[in-house]
Amino acid sequence: MTQSSATTDPHPALRLDRVERRFHQGETALTILDGADMVLRAGEMVALVAPSGAGKSTLLHIAGLLERPDGGDVVVNGVSCGQMDDAARTQMRRGTIGFVYQFHHLLPEFSALENVMLPQMIRGLSRGMAAERSKELLDYMRLGARASHRPAELSGGEQQRVAIARAVANNPYVLLADEPTGNLDPVTSTYVFDALTALVRQAGVAALIATHNHDLARRMDRAVTLRDGHIVDLVLD
């Protein structure tokens, strides 16, 4: 294993530059990230493989501008975001970063189509344009015939594919996924991962995917892990 580091690429989709994150319990400081560096490029899929409690979720939250680092910087498509105020971070996140979680978090009262439309409309797209793009995405994910169905009427794999379509609806530079197939059976997991891979490659999104599944991790471009607060390259046997 060798430590990942920033490169001379002037505008990678995502760059973490000596990121620090600590949590305090009384007088004790728990260091999660201690000068962590990483670069994600457009169209690249990187597996984040680490045991529970190692800080995977913290890393994803900081990369996704949901948490502010205690030190260092998060740079999205060349824009420094580490010290932005909350309003600016929210605006940046809406337009440049997509999220997929282990549980789909679809809104139960809306159809699959409406769930994919919502983030686009929040960003300011008209209902008609949002519907058109959402139909295209659901067709690409082989869910066109299920567009009018609510989440409760969809299988687990279908729900997760809708969540993936929703995550890329705003054409993000970066896609962050936290165990996106962890709640699925092996066959469905493979099918959903194949759909995710196809969409990442087609859209040219930079994807960081936390997973415990080494078989899926091997299918990505490279794998990293967390060691002593650093992001290091991981060679999977």
* Per-residue pLDDT tens digits for 115-171: 999 989 988 889 999 999 999 899 888 888 999 999 999 988 899 889 989 988 888
Q: Is residue 108 part of a domain?
A: no
Position 2 scores a pLDDT of 33
Query: How far is residue 227 from each of residues 5, 8, 32, 217, measured CA to CA in Å?
Result: 14, 24, 9, 18
pTM metric for this prediction: 0.85
Cα–Cα distance measured from residue 177 to residue 184, given in angstroms and rounded to the nearest whole number: 14
**CATH number of the domain enclosing 206:** 3.40.50.300
Angle 216-221-225 from CA coordinates, rounded to 5°? 70
Q: Is residue 3 part of a domain?
A: no
| Type and span of the H or E element at 4 | none
Position 207 scores a pLDDT of 94
Per-residue model confidence as pLDDT tens digits over 83-103:
888 888 888 888 889 988 877
Q: Is residue 120 part of a domain?
A: no
Q: Write down the mean pLDDT value for the chain.
A: 86
Domain span at residue 27? Answer: 12-102+163-234
Question: What's the domain count of the chain?
Answer: 1
Residues 6+ apart with CB under 8 A from 123: 94, 95, 170
Position 41 scores a pLDDT of 92
Q: Is residue 7 part of a domain?
A: no
The region that residue 142 occupies, defined by phi over 0 for left and psi between -120 and 50 for alpha, beta otherwise, is left
Is pLDDT of 5 > 70? Answer: no
Helices and strands in the chain, H and E counts: 7, 10
Q: Is residue 118 part of a domain?
A: no
Q: Is residue 116 part of a domain?
A: no
Q: Is residue 31 part of a domain?
A: yes
Q: Is residue 6 part of a domain?
A: no
